[in-house]
Amino acid sequence: MASKYIALPNGVSEKIFDTAVKEFRGVLGEANVLVSAEQLAPYTKTMMPVSETNHTPSAAIMATTVEQIQKIVAICNKYKVPIWTISTGKNLGYGSAAPAERGQVVLDLHRMNRILEVDSDLCYALVEPGVTYRQLYDYFQEHQLPLWLSLPAPSAIAGPTGNTLDRGVGYTPYGEHFMNACGMEVVLANGEVLRTGMGSLPKSNTWQAFKWGYGPYLDGIFTQSNYGIVTKFGFWLQPAPPVYKPFMIQYQDEDDVVEIVEIMRPMRLNGVIPNSGVIAHALYEAGVKAKRSDYVSGPGSISDEAVRKLVRDHHMGIWNVTAALYGTQEQVDVNWKIVTEAFGKSGKATFITEQEAGDDPQFGYRAVLMRGGMDMREFNLYNWRGGGGSLWFAPVSQARGSETLKQMRLAKGILAKYGLDYTGEFIVGMRDMHHIIDMLYDRTDPAMTKAAYQCFDELISTFSAEGYGSYRTNTAFMDKVAHTYGPVQRHVHKMLKKALDPNGILAPGKSGIR
Amino acid sequence: MKATWMACVGFMSALSVMASHTGVLGADQQEVPQTGFTWKDGAEVYTKICALCHETSVGPILRGRELDPLYIRLIVRNGSRAMPAFRASEIDDHSLEQLSEYVSKSAGAK
Ligand SMILES: Cc1cc2nc3c(=O)[nH]c(=O)nc-3n(C[C@H](O)[C@H](O)[C@H](O)COP(=O)(O)OP(=O)(O)OC[C@H]3O[C@@H](n4cnc5c(N)ncnc54)[C@H](O)[C@@H]3O)c2cc1C
């Protein structure tokens, strides 16, 4: 007899699962427990080069309160049913809303979405997991609060809790999001509710003001992990500056990344450039202005010659540096002078400010993101090649010119072997760079999909052999990346898992932890 | 100038206090039943989600094409190539119905 479920959790019989589903319904109501194929379709779509059957959930359940979540973990412990928690569920290119393993129940917290507190004196917010950046942005507008968000490019549809829990990045001075996280509430697998840091102290009003609390700092173990379910999340906001000056600097040779990084690092370290700006390769920005088919016919990766034609046709750089200045007019003027003098020395740089850019969409979307606004034009990435396949390869690099060039060449060579383009950028930290490559492939083409899988696998192997680790990865490659960090870290992760979640009900497989 | 700024600061602090009382704060960890965000209508969903791609040349123009509402609902729930799928937790069934009617009936931008 055909099962009434499209998938079942590993090792759980249909009969046991029936009971668990019945109990979920008892807690959440009929309408908040989804099991049909039609209802689960949006939890199954991914952009990864693996079969969707590997990541098909057995059910999706929607909770809105801490008490409901406590009851759910009790049911999961009783029947050994694993749950995969998502907040806003837009982890696109990293596995989207689908679970790590077939048959896991998705615990979808999008409807748990109250903005609990916004303090415009201390500039912080406390939110529930389902709150989107859009909701916060609108809240600030509506209440005329001079506060800015830092957000990832999917802005309107993603949210601070999920993004920060996966240690995501944005483009403002607050762009390293976990650095600006302050205080969490976490439901543990045994149903206990932990408030981290100062939140554990009854009556404390510094939960969102001081990160560390007393004793071992715990917040970190709830990021990229499966040790708890975060139900409240505090984070810091940037006071809106009086003057905002976004700018772009273009260079026309791949080797120029060395000069760019060497000039930029000291200015990031001393705060002249305060935000996590971006050094984007032309191919990362190309989709905003052109289609790949205008420059390439036939198989294989795009040639350097075609890229040079592309940048000439569309007023782009081979490297496009975008960053911004924030402050009073005097501060911005002084810093702009420092920036232009530093980048101006070699004579290779072209400076573009809002005046020169006009309505240029490449400048435009970057300028909105660097002030925490709503803009999704970066999704033009997917118009470059088409076909909807995307995997983020995200190795960390030192903020050292020679290193960035080495990583770029290494990645480009491996991608070319598989006929794929180097669609890369560096997000500029103080001492590090997030080297972000959107591995674009046509998911409707089985041969290219297979090549994409192999290419990603080789990227991880080759980079880790050189000592370059990924900062984050998609749900199909979590074990592989965990392996690159060596057995001792894996063992410690496992011991923590055993202690905090002995039945292994929370997101088994996340970051390779079971 | 200064007085205006001070008044402004006072107003903001008050707002944050107000905001903090609407939320679940304090040590007792009791969840006060209070609803979260819900969509007003289809136009709001369109403006705050769809338009970010479908009015910026990322995705195709949808308005003014009399698209079949059923087709719209199907694409929203399943996604299409790089277009993400949207779950009922994000756009509930009722709002999706309103959205699909809105998009289907709306005039195209001239
Ligand atoms: C074109 C494009 C551009 C992008 N740009 C960026 C970018 O600039 N920066 C960036 O960081 N990412 C980027 N992304 C990747 C991704 O879309 C974002 O990181 C997005 O914010 C993640 O989705 P989310 O915020 O909805 O989090 P979710 O999907 O809700 O959560 C992410 C993960 O965190 C964990 N998690 C979530 N909620 C909880 C919880 N309550 N308790 C415990 N664990 C939990 C789960 O493992 C989950 O899979 C981009 C994607 C695309 C397609």
Which CATH number fits the domain that encloses residue B48? 1.10.760.10
Does residue B83 have an active-site annotation? yes
End-to-end, the C-alpha distance of chain B in Å comes to: 45
Residue B85 resides in a domain: yes
- Which candidate, A92, A85, A86, places its Cα nearest to that of A154? A92
Residue B72 resides in a domain: yes
Q: Is B26 on the interface with A (CB under 8 A)?
A: yes
Check: CB of residue A424 under 8 Å from CB of residue A411.
yes
Residue B49 resides in a domain: yes
Residue B97 resides in a domain: yes
Q: Tell me the three state secondary structure of residue B46.
A: helix
Decide the pairing of beta strands A238-239 and A147-148.
Answer: antiparallel
Domains and CATH numbers, chain A: 14-111 (3.30.43.10), 115-239 (3.30.465.10), 243-473 (3.40.462.10)
Tokens standing for residue A303: 């040639």
Q: Is B74 on the interface with A (CB under 8 A)?
A: no
Tokens standing for residue A72: 């759910």
Closest CA in chain B for residue A289: B57
- Cα distances (angstroms) measured from residue A108 to each of A59, A86, A408: 10, 5, 37
Of the candidates A65, A117, A382, the beta carbon closest to that of B23 is on: A117
The alpha carbon dihedral of A374, A378, A382, A388 has a sign of negative
> Which of A379, A443, A449 should we substitute to test contact with B (largest number of B Cβ atoms within 10 Å)?
A379
- Cα distances (angstroms) measured from residue B87 to each of A64, A87, B84, B93: 15, 12, 10, 9
Residue B48 resides in a domain: yes
Q: Is B86 on the interface with A (CB under 8 A)?
A: yes
Residue with tokens 């950046």: A133
- Cα distances (angstroms) measured from residue A61 to each of A5, A21, A38, A143: 14, 9, 14, 33
Cα–Cα distance for residue pair A398/A426, rounded to 1 Å: 11
Domain that holds residue B95: 42-105
Q: Tell me the three state secondary structure of residue A261.
A: helix
Does residue B6 have an active-site annotation? no
Q: Counting atoms of ligand 1 from 1, which one is nearest the CA of A47?
A: 53
Q: Quick check: A119 and B36 CB within 8 A?
A: no
Residue A100: count other Cβ atoms within 10 Å of its Cβ.
24
> Which of A64, A91, A195, A237 should we substitute to test contact with B (largest number of B Cβ atoms within 10 Å)?
A64
Q: Which of these is catalytic: A5, A94, A124, A284?
A: A94
Q: Is B37 on the interface with A (CB under 8 A)?
A: yes
Residue B35 resides in a domain: no
Residue A446: count other Cβ atoms within 10 Å of its Cβ.
10
Give the residue, out of A69, A86, A184, with the most ligand 1 atoms within 8 A of its beta carbon, to mutate for a pocket test: A86
A169: β partners: A176
Residue B5 resides in a domain: no
Tokens standing for residue A501: 């979640």
Residues B65-77: tens digit of each pLDDT: 999 999 999 999 9
Length of chain B: 110
Residue B56 resides in a domain: yes
Length of chain A: 514
Total-model pTM = 0.95
Closest CA in chain A for residue B12: A120
Cα–Cα distance for residue pair A212/A210, rounded to 1 Å: 6
Q: Counting atoms of ligand 1 from 1, which one is nearest the CA of A165?
A: 34
Instruction: Count CA within 13 A, CB hemisphere, residue A368.
Output: 19
Q: Quick check: B48 and A193 CB within 8 A?
A: no
**Number of separate domains in chain B:** 1
- Residue A224 CA to its chain's centroid (Å): 11
Per-residue pLDDT of chain A (514 residues; tens, 9 = 90+): 578 999 999 999 999 999 999 999 999 999 999 999 999 999 999 999 999 999 999 999 999 999 999 999 999 999 999 999 999 999 999 999 999 999 999 999 999 999 999 999 999 999 999 999 999 999 999 999 999 999 999 999 999 999 999 999 999 999 999 999 999 999 999 999 999 999 999 999 999 999 999 999 999 999 999 999 999 999 999 999 999 999 999 999 999 999 999 999 999 999 999 999 999 999 999 999 999 999 999 999 999 999 999 999 999 999 999 999 999 999 999 999 999 999 999 999 999 999 999 999 999 999 999 999 999 999 999 999 999 999 999 999 999 999 999 999 999 999 999 999 999 999 999 999 999 999 999 999 999 999 999 999 999 999 999 999 999 999 999 999 999 999 999 999 999 999 999 999 999 999 999 9
